[in-house]
Structures are given as C-alpha cells and as structure tokens.
Structure 1
Amino acid sequence: MKIQNRTKLQEWLDQNYWFENGFISEIKDSKNELEIVVGYQTVGTYVAGEKQELKEFSLKTIGLTNWTYKKEQFSPTRDSCINGIDLTEKGFGLKFDTESVFEMTCDSLEISNPKIIQTYTKPWTSNREIQITATQKEVPTVNYWVEKLEEYGIKIGFRYFSSELIKSEKVPYPDYSGYFIQTLNKISETQKGLFFKFIDLKNGELRIGIENEDENEKLFKTIQLIVSDWKNTTINSGNVKFIGKEFKEFLKNGKYPERIEKIKDVW
C-alpha cells in the first residue's frame, strides 16, 4: 500500500491505535533506502510465558528528506515498548516517541500488509523494584528489618528522604511506607536507600512494594533473599511472578521457574 498524503497517513495511524505501547523491531537505513519495521501486540498480556500475538508492518520511504535517528539513543527490538508514533508537525512524515524522539519525512511511504507473529511473552526481571504478597497476620516491624539484615552482616537504619538516621521507635508503625532503609555508613553520604513504596495489610494478606533508589545492589539482593524465605509468599519482579523458593533459586543462579524455562526454546 502506497501512502502519499497526510490525511491517509493519519487514517492509517488511527486504524493502528497510533502504535501506543507498540514497538520498533528493525531499522535499516542507508544513503539510498530507509526501512522501519513497527508493530504492536494484538492478543495476550505482558506476563512472562503467556501466548502473545503481534501485528507488524514494514515502512519503506520514497524520497527521504529528513531522518533524525541516532543509533546510540535507541535500539530497535520487539521486547521494548514505545510510547507511540505520530505525524510530524509539518510536512509528510512520522515522529517516533521512544526514550528519545526522532523523526522521518519523505515524499511517500510504501507500507506492507500486516505480518501476524505468534510468540510468547519473554521474561524480564527488575533490578530496581519488587512487589511482595504474603499471608501474614501483621506487618514486619522496623526492628525485624534491622535484626534480619544484621544476620547478613549489614547494619541499617531507617530515614525519610535526605534525613539523618531515625531511631526505630520514632518510625511510624504499621505503615512506614515513604521511608527508606539505608546502610548506616551511607546515611550521611546519600539521600535515599531502599524505598518502601507501599505497605498494605487486609484480611491476612500483606502487600509490600520496595524500590532500590540508591543502586545499592547488595542491600537490595539481601532483602530479596529475606522475603523469599517467607511462607506463602509471591514476589513480582518485572513481568515474572515467583513463589518464594523459585525467587530464591533465581537470585542464586538466574534460573526462571520451570514453567517458563520449558517454553524458552519456542522463542
């Protein structure tokens, strides 16, 4: 299909939801030709291991007049979402909203028929954030974290943003969301630490969100090891849902749960 006016290009974008949360899987640019492969998910979820269907198009430019893409700012892949694709402010062209915004203008576009791809959602884990769900009668106390981390040889205290050490008895309980855990030797040097994003206990179900806002890998890994030993616990990291023993195994050797490992060969 050849498109050579702005109205038709807008209609095509609208039919494909402006590629919101879509992807750019390939960019082939040379002096003589530019081809961009774009797509989006039509079936499935973003949960690791679930079936997924993608719709993908190849866009070939005719009469390229402007191209602002820089390889060091964006790497095309089906696994990373983009914010979307829009029309350029002026002329006939497209604006690609990724972690960096780049534009293309040309005389016309040759757009392929959609390619349907059957696949699975690939697993990824976060080195910055986890969410914990556990069967508990009460929220872990402030002293629980202090004492448990000390068993691993790590001395910590609580603080709020940019504060000095706050004595355990001064930290609000049971809801100390908004506070940070930080190693004692770093409190005077930093502003943050491991952040308790939320703490919620309802009907015997405890939910805690923790973010590593100080890039303290040792402290973050240790607190993940601690919660992986809790009974009746699930941990969400990235798009993977682990039970406690699965998460502990992953932290030790990087192995995903068996249900995910079994289908990795399909990808």
Structure 2
Amino acid sequence: MNIENRTKLEKWLDQNYWFEDGFISEINDSKSGLEIVVGYQTVGTYVAGEKQELKEFSLKPIGLTNWTYKKEQFSPTKESCINGIDLTEKGIGLKFDTESVFELNCESIEISEPKITQTYTKPWISNREIYITTTEKEVPTANYWIEKLEEYGFKTGFRYFASELIQSENVPYPDYSGYFIQTLNKISETQKGLFFKFIGLENGELRIGIENGDENKELFNSIQLIVSNWKNTTINSGNVKFTGKEFNEFLENGKYPERIEKIKNVW
C-alpha cells in the first residue's frame, strides 16, 4: 500500500490506534533507502511468559525530505513501548513519540501488509523496584530491617528525604511509607536510600513496595534476599511474578521460574 496524501495516512494511523504503547523494532537506513518497522501487541498481556501476538508493519518513505532520528537517542526494540506515532504538522509525515521525539517527512510512504507473530512475553527484571505480598500478619518494625541488614554486613538507619538519621523508635509505625533506609555512612552524603513506597496490611495480607532510590545495588540486593526468605510470599520485579523461593534462586543464579525458562527458545 502506497500512501500519497495526509488523509489516508491519518486513517491508517487511526486504524492502528496511533501505535499507542506500541514499539519500533527496526530502523534500517542504507543506500537502498530508509525502512522503519513498527508494531503493537494485539493479544496477551505484558506479564512474562504469557502468550503474545504482535502486528508489525514495514514503512518505506519515498522522496524523503526530513529525517531527524539520531541513533544515540533511541534504540529500536520490541521490548520497549513508545508513546505513539502522530502526524507531523504539515504534509505527509510521521512523528515518533519515544523518549526522544523524531520525525520524517516525505512525498509518500509505502506500507507493507501486516506481519503477525505468535510469541511469548519476554521477562525483564527491575533493578529499582520490587513489590511484595505475603501472608504475614504484622508489619515489620524499623528495627527488623536494621537488624536483618546488619546480618548482611550493613549498618543502616531510617531517614526521610534529605534528612539526618531518625532513630528507629521515632519512625512511625505501622505505616512508615515515605521513609528511606540507608547505610549510616551515606546518610550525610545522600538524600535518599531504599524507599518504602507503601507498606501496610490489606485484606489480611502484608503489602510492601520498595524502590532503590540511590541505585545502591548491594543494599537493594540484600533487602531482596531478606524478603525472598519469607514464607508464603509473592515478589513482583519488572514483569515477572516470583514465589519467594523462585526469587531467591533467581538472585543466586539468574534462573527464571521453570514456567518461563522452558519457553526461552521461542522468545
């Protein structure tokens, strides 16, 4: 299909939901011309290991007059969502809304028939956040975290954003969401630490969200090991849901749960 006017281009974008939360999987710029492969998910979720159906199109601009893409600002991949694709202000052109916006303008665009791919959602792990759900009936105290982290060789204390050390007896309980735990030697040098985004009991379950505010890999890894040893625990990291035992094994050897490992060959 060759699109030669703005109205048809707008209709095609609308038919494909303006590629909101879609992806750009390839950008090939060679002597034979520019080719951009774009797509979106039509079936499935973003949970690791679940069935997924993707629809992709190859776009080949003809008579290219403007192309503002820079390789160092964006890397094409099916795994990273874009905000969408829109029309440029005038003429036949596309504006790709990624972490950096870039545009193309041309005389016409040749668009392939859609390619449908059946696959599974790839796993990804966050190095910044985990979400924990467990059947524990009590919220851990501030002293609990301090004592457990000391077993891993860390002397820590609580603080709120950019504050000095707050003695554990002065940390509000049971809801200390909004507070950080940080190594004592870094409290005067930093503003954050490991951030308790939320913590509390809900419908008989303990729910905790922890964010690595200062990207302290060692401290974050240790607190993940602590919660992975809790009984009857579910831990969400990235798009993967682990049991405590599965998460402990992943932290030790990088092995995903068996249900995900067994479909690696179709990613």
- Interval containing the TM-score (normalised by the shorter chain): over 0.9
Does residue 192 in structure 1 map to residue 202 in structure 2?
no
SS at match of 2:18: helix
What corresponds to 1:28 in structure 2? 28
Aligned to 2:121: 121
Shift of residue 152, structure 1, vs aligned partner: 1.1
Secondary structure at 1:103's aligned position in 2? strand
The aligned residue for residue 19 of structure 1 is 19
CA distance in 2 between counterparts of 1:26 and 1:151 reads: 47
- The DSSP-based 3-state class of the residue aligned with 1:125 is coil
Corresponding residue number in structure 2 for 1:131: 131
Task: Measure the CA separation in 1 of the matches of 2:239 and 2:153.
Answer: 31
Structure 2 unaligned blocks of 5 or more: none
- Alpha-carbon distance in 1 for matches of 2:228, 2:245: 6
Deviates more, 1:68-77 or 1:186-195: 68-77
1:112-261 superposed matches below 5 A: 112-261=112-261
Deviation, 1:90, is 2.1
1: CA distance, partners of 2:157 / 2:71: 43
- 2:25 aligned with 1:8: no
Matches within 5 A, 1:62-141: 62-141=62-141
Distance in 1, matches of 2:113 and 2:44, equals: 22
Q: SS at 2:191's partner residue?
A: coil
Q: Secondary structure at the match of 2:89?
A: coil
Deviations 1:111-136 (A, max 9, x none): 11111100000001000000000001
- For residues 207 and 187 of structure 1, the distance between their equivalents in structure 2, rounded to whole angstroms, comes to 26
Distance 1:196 1:202 in 2: 16
Q: Distance in 2 between matches of 1:182 and 1:88?
A: 47
1:203, CA displacement in angstroms?
3.2
Alignment partners' CA distance in 2, 1:230 and 1:204 = 16
Q: Residue 119 of structure 1 aligns to a residue in which SS?
A: strand
**Residue identity opposite 1:255 in structure 2:** K
Secondary structure in 2 matching 1:172? coil
Matched to 1:206, the amino acid is L
Match of 1:47 in 2: 47
- Amino acid corresponding to residue 82 of structure 1 in structure 2: I
Distance (Å, rounded) in 2 between the aligned partners of 1:68 and 1:218: 40
- The letter of the residue matching 2:104 is M
Distance 2:203 2:89 in 1: 53
For 1:25 and 1:151, how far apart are their aligned partners in 2? 45
Query: 4+ residue runs of structure 1 moved beyond 4 angstroms?
Result: none
Offset, 1:32: 4.8
- SS of the counterpart of 1:161? coil
Task: Give the Cα separation in 2 of the matches to 1:15 and 1:159.
Answer: 51
Question: Within 2, Cα distance between the matches of 1:254 and 1:174?
Answer: 34
| Deviation string, structure 1 residues 56-97 (Cα, Å, up to 9, x no partner) | 001111100000001111111111111100011222100001
Report the residue type matching 2:41 in the other structure.
Answer: Q
Q: Secondary structure at the match of 2:133?
A: strand
Pairwise CA distance, 1:2: 0.9
SS, match of residue 64 in structure 2: coil
> What is the DSSP-based 3-state SS (H/G/I as helix, E as strand, rest coil) of the residue aligned with 1:207?
strand
- For residue 41 of structure 1, give the secondary structure of its aligned residue in structure 2: strand
The amino acid of 1:73's aligned partner reads Q
Q: CA deviation at 1:248?
A: 0.5
**Residue-pair matches, total:** 267
3-state SS, counterpart of residue 118 of structure 1: strand
> Gaps spanning 5+ residues in structure 1: where?
none
Return the offset for 1:202.
2.1
Alpha-carbon distance, 1:262 to partner: 0.5
| Alpha-carbon distance, 1:204 to partner | 2.2
Q: For 1:40, give the aligned amino acid.
A: Y
